[in-house]
Structure 1
Amino acid sequence: MISDLSKKWKTVLLTEAVDILDNLRKPINSRERQKRINGKAKSDLYPYYGATGQVGLIDGYLTEGEYVLIGEDGAPFLDRSKPKAYKIVGRTWVNNHAHILKGKIGVSLNDFILYYLNSIDYKFYVNGTTRLKLTKGSLSAIPIPLPVLSIQKVIVSKIEELFSELDKSIEQLKTAQQQLKTYRQAVLKWAFEGRLTNEHVKEGELPEGWRIVNLNKIGHWTGGGTPSKRMQEYWLNGNILWVTPKDMKYKKILDSGDKITKGSIGQSSAKMIKEGSILFVVRSGILRRVLPIAIAGNDLTTNQDLQSLTLNEGFSSEYVYWYCVSKESVIRDSFSKDGTTVDSIDVPKLKSFEIKVPMEPEQHQIVAEIESRLSVADNLEATIKTSLQQAESLRQSILKQAFEGKLI
């Protein structure tokens, strides 16, 4: 319910509250900007702004002072959790992807305008399909409730007070997230040093009964293949999983985007891989960020971008999986074919990767310890994620109440 106070505020079109100064903006492409800043000291450069924030530097400025910018295109107009407007101060340069606004003297405050523009729903003001656009005409026609300047100042002050408290809470949640990440890494480190199951083992020592073996000695490897797409009978009504890098999203692969027929396996390079095998992506653009590793949850096949390790008796799939996950960055960075940007893994080097292995009963014990501890961490992570989402919803709620007159 809107408060009685806000009912006394007059509502005007945005163009009556602000000056739209799009004549002050000018686009300069990145190549030209680079030419202009080469060899110049940072102190001689100025921020260059676009739809959602600073996008670079330039050796000159077109605006000086305080302004509010809002995207013309390229802004997240339909995502209520993300800001569409932001403030700039000082000497700056703005390109043509953002509108430049300034509160009219004696009429409106820049901060009041800023918060209001980040509170409203833009679905009625933007147009376009692939790239939404907020035209100057649509922007000008946005209605805004406008109390007197003294009330605007009180509202801005209250918003900033509440946002400050909210930001502190968000920072604490993000710190907790980072601590959980560190904890997960520590759990895996302790596990494969034997310190979760051997109380007296010292860091750097190999626990009694453990051995070091390479992956090539604990099972056999299988490559993948792709049945001919021209042979419809290989794909039509298939029921055997055919796994590609895009399917490698979970610890255990139980489904895939594509399936092939049993008959296609004997007639193509695709090979059947046993349930419980360890799957490694060895060729994909995704390797620049992470090395996907998984366990085959069923008998399945893969394409040529994966290698599969079917384990011998005495080796736990879950143990080998978690060990390789704990060393994911080492494998990815050390075994990349080019050594810099990782697009593929050197398979012979991967096969020679050494792991520390206890007897099978202790492997199962270690897996139980890992999964018990990481389960607690996962539950906490889910709670934190929910809290962060609620915090962003609360930010919108604060703005909504502010412009309904409920904060004063």
Structure 2
Amino acid sequence: MNKIPKGWEVKKLGEICEITMGQSPKGENVFENSQSLNGLEFHQGKICFTDKFISKSKFITSDIRKIAEVGSILLCVRAPVGVINLTERKIAIGRGLCALKANNQNNNFLYYYLLGLKQYFESKATGSTFSAITLNIVKNCEIPLPPLSEQKAIVDKLDDSFAKIENAITNLINAKENLKLYKQSVLKSAFNGDLLPNTSPTHWEVKKLGEICEINPKTEILLLNESDEVSFIPMASVEAETNIFTESKSKFSKVKKGYTKFRDNDILFAKITPCMENGKICIVNNLKFGIGFGSTEFHVIRPNKNTLSKYIYYFVSQISFRQMAQIYMTGAVGQRRVPSKILENFEIPLPPLSEQNLIVAEIDRRFAIVDKTLNLIDKNIQNAKNLKQSILKKAFSGELRSEI
């Protein structure tokens, strides 16, 4: 703010905006069904607003206290602090949000400026239970303001630049999805027996998974001291659909009871929703003492000596396998799990061990190429997002003047 272009001025948001802090409705006035109430639209249990940049939601309510008008800027004042969005319709807002609307200024200029302030608002947040910012912090936030004609020109330039960047990001995301579909097609070919030209499924056997693997086997624990550090793998440390996990260390005394036990080369298969559907599956290796402990929401799959762990891992990683397992989940909503019997009775095509090695090697080879491309796409997506921030910085320091 110390160096602003000639002809610009610095104002506080409270000086140029109407600011409305949200207020949550009473619990007895919250509904679940889509409805229209006093001109306000609601849908599927959420206050209706576009989720272009924000997915925060509140209530369907008849107890409307605070309203954001069409074209208002919504700012999250409670975690996730600093996320913003433009409203496309009149809505009610809960206390996790505030609505801003510029007076006698270009509202979209203000919107773009706030897009670049997430880290600023995060730095101002306080609270032990959840982070939040106050109305005063919002009011006292400063903004550099050019004349209205220049605000419009800057907004037009940002609209054009951001549309191109969003289009590029969309194309990159679509490319990622296509590569993921390709990986699934590779797995389908592998277990149909047509991935390799020199292999034929005519002599393969069909086995139940429980015939060639132990499901949730007993794991012998070596003589360990209570103070020994052992490998521990919580559900959160297993990535979805990557066979990547991050182990932590825990005292044997803390995990010896009440946790799932496993050993090197075992497969951990998440049994609870939504982790199972998301593909939280991995082969564990290089465990301390060769054993590990983890979430009770894992099934442990231990292949016999004639079956490769990687072959089984790839089989249970198929979306088709997980979709079938999902059908047989049991339990209450939000706590549904795949019973171990489903895994035990699931049929799998099984070639000889030598062919399993060839199939796994070919899957590994193809996946390595795909994963390298996926990593490159992720970097490009991040670069595109960084470019947005760079353009915003230029816009509000006056550097876009020469391009307008």
TM-score range (shorter-chain normalised) is 0.7 to 0.9
SS at match of 1:258: strand
1:357 CA drift (Å): 1.0
1:398 CA drift (Å): 1.1
Structure 1: runs of 5 or more not aligned: 78-83, 202-206
For 2:157, the equivalent position in structure 1 comes to: 158
**Cα displacement string for residues 29-67 of structure 1 (whole angstroms, at most 9, x for unaligned residues):** 464131xx8685689642547996553445678454432
CA distance in 1, matches of 2:121, 2:237: 36
CA distance in 1, matches of 2:154, 2:393: 12
CA contact (8 A) 2:233 2:246 kept: no
SS at match of 1:160: helix
SS at match of 2:143: strand
1:347 CA drift (Å): 2.0
| Distance verdict in 2 for CA 1:26–1:182, change over 3 Å | same
The amino acid across from 1:180 in the alignment is L
| Distance verdict in 2 for CA 1:144–1:153, change over 3 Å | same
1:237 CA drift (Å): 1.9
For 1:378, the equivalent position in structure 2 comes to: 371
CA distance in 2, matches of 1:389, 1:99: 28
CA distance in 2, matches of 1:92, 1:269: 47
1:27 CA drift (Å): 2.9
CA contact (8 A) 2:265 2:302 kept: yes
TM-score (norm 2): 0.78
CA distance in 1, matches of 2:212, 2:96: 58
SS at match of 2:372: helix
1:300 CA drift (Å): 1.8
1:209 CA drift (Å): 1.5
SS at match of 2:349: strand
CA distance in 2, matches of 1:183, 1:289: 17
**Are residue 55 (structure 1) and residue 46 (structure 2) matched?**
no
Identity of aligned residues (%): 23
For 2:291, the equivalent position in structure 1 comes to: 300
| Distance verdict in 2 for CA 1:302–1:281, change over 3 Å | farther
CA distance in 2, matches of 1:14, 1:243: 47
1:124 CA drift (Å): 5.7
CA distance in 2, matches of 1:69, 1:89: 11
1:244 CA drift (Å): 5.8
**Are residue 215 (structure 1) and residue 223 (structure 2) matched?**
no
What pairs with 1:231-380 in structure 2 (closer than 5 Å)? 234-238=225-229, 241=231, 245=235, 248-249=238-239, 251=243, 255-258=247-250, 260=252, 275-282=264-271, 286-287=275-276, 289-290=278-279, 292-297=281-286, 299-302=290-293, 306-326=298-318, 328-330=321-323, 332-338=325-331, 343-380=336-373
Higher Cα Rg, which structure: 1
CA distance in 2, matches of 1:318, 1:178: 23
1:321 CA drift (Å): 1.9
Comparing 337-346 with 5-14, greater Cα deviation is found at 337-346
What pairs with 1:6-17 in structure 2 (closer than 5 Å)? 6-17=5-16
**Cα displacement string for residues 191-244 of structure 1 (whole angstroms, at most 9, x for unaligned residues):** 11011114797xxxxx221110112322445535799xxx9x7431245x4666
CA distance in 2, matches of 1:243, 1:118: 37
| Distance verdict in 2 for CA 1:366–1:149, change over 3 Å | same
CA distance in 2, matches of 1:192, 1:235: 45
The amino acid across from 2:30 in the alignment is R
CA distance in 1, matches of 2:214, 2:245: 19
The amino acid across from 2:210 in the alignment is N
| Distance verdict in 2 for CA 1:30–1:163, change over 3 Å | farther
The amino acid across from 1:314 in the alignment is N
For 1:66, the equivalent position in structure 2 comes to: 71
For 1:184, the equivalent position in structure 2 comes to: 183
SS at match of 2:25: coil
CA contact (8 A) 1:286 1:343 kept: no
What pairs with 1:104-123 in structure 2 (closer than 5 Å)? 104-105=103-104, 108-120=105-117, 121-122=120-121
**Cα displacement string for residues 344-393 of structure 1 (whole angstroms, at most 9, x for unaligned residues):** 33223322221101122211111011011111111111111111111111
**Are residue 401 (structure 1) and residue 383 (structure 2) matched?**
no
| Distance verdict in 2 for CA 1:2–1:173, change over 3 Å | farther
SS at match of 2:72: strand
The amino acid across from 2:202 in the alignment is E
TM-score (norm 1): 0.78
CA contact (8 A) 2:204 2:349 kept: yes
For 1:194, the equivalent position in structure 2 comes to: 193
Structure 2: runs of 5 or more not aligned: none
For 1:141, the equivalent position in structure 2 comes to: 140
